[in-house]
Structure 1
């Protein structure tokens, strides 16, 4: 039997970016309810709660210099639809949260490499980046 495939650098970068945003949100007083929550319609990077609000956070991580003025286009209409369906599935499995106000946030993270090592920085964080339609 073949061994499991190794994770790609891209996957590792994405995971590191999600972990960075998880810590960032924690410092802002958010409680992380789920990370990399999966269902048949896709994955929710982070599900966070604070003060009776539920945020479904999509994290996009790129290497240094890869973000431009239209970075939010990384979460296009098809991706938004998948995130909405995944959020609905999450809420169906957690009915006690279904009455909470919900929003979809997008975090744009940059991976920076220097002689000191690799670090991450928040390029943009958009609360309510898109809505149900």
Structure 2
């Protein structure tokens, strides 16, 4: 058995820079995406993540949610909602579905979302109609 000092750094949560490939492409983070979208829309990050409902803030928030869903496929709708101070996952889904239409009205070009294994942006599963309990 290895002692704590002999265990690989990865197990302790450290990042071994020697194993990093020079040509590796880093995935954008949700924080970075929100900063970029906020700058594009002329709002601050704190305003973007707040619950303000003006059209300007709502459009920027939809854009950010869409871009996070597109560029961070590991993040679920619930994770995206939690990133925006606890927004419900169905609100995130609505924002993602509505952004292309909003962007078209604003004259912003939108890149399509990638298909996911479980359907388009986590489409809800059919309801279970079986009886539960007794």
Give TM-score, length-normalised by structure 1.
0.30
Task: Give the number of the structure whose residues are more often strand, by fraction.
Answer: 1
Task: Give the number of the structure whose residues are more often helix, by fraction.
Answer: 2
Higher relative contact order (CA 8 A, sep 6+): 1
